Amino acid sequence: MHTAFHVPDSEVEVTAVRAQGAGGQNVNKVSSAIHLRFNIPGSSMPADMKIRLLALKDGRISRDGILVIKAQSHRSQDMNRLDAFDRLHALIKSVAIPPKIRRATKPTYGSKQRRLEGKSKHSAIKALRGKASDSRQSS
């Protein structure tokens, strides 16, 4: 079981880019946003973790298996770099523990009885919703 996988710095490509959105003049002249690229198939990550990570329905993972994280919520480049690495580690941590395999079991006798009892009660309620019989109508 792989619970603690550390990503080597050599496997991560970090690029500073200009941030988008509001920020005044600072956003136009400072490259404070961070693009973090991580090649999943080419990494030293264990094979079972790679499979689970590539199976995620995440828009940040390309068809080639490149994970791109863009961090631009902070004004400083260092804070955005930390934020990007935190998000990378959180994503890897989410696939570190393999999911438990579900084994099918038979329903218990008591659960079958409760289900049938509920069905008969519901049936009785619905039976009362019918039209009034002829014996109740007066001529």
| Residues 14-73 pLDDT 10s | 988 888 876 667 767 777 889 999 999 988 888 999 999 999 888 999 999 899 999 988
Q: What is the overall mean pLDDT for the chain? A: 86
Do 32 and 16 form a contact (C-beta atoms < 8 A)?
yes
Which of residues 89 and 2 earns the better pLDDT score?
Answer: 89
Sequence-distant (6+) residues with CB within 8 A of 114 are none
CATH number of 9-96: 3.30.160.20
Q: Which of 131, 133, 48, 58 is nearest to 95 (CA)?
A: 48
Q: Dihedrals φ, ψ of 44, to 5°?
A: -90, 15
- How many CA atoms lie within 13 Å of 40's alpha carbon, on the beta-carbon side? 25
Domain boundaries, the chain: 9-96
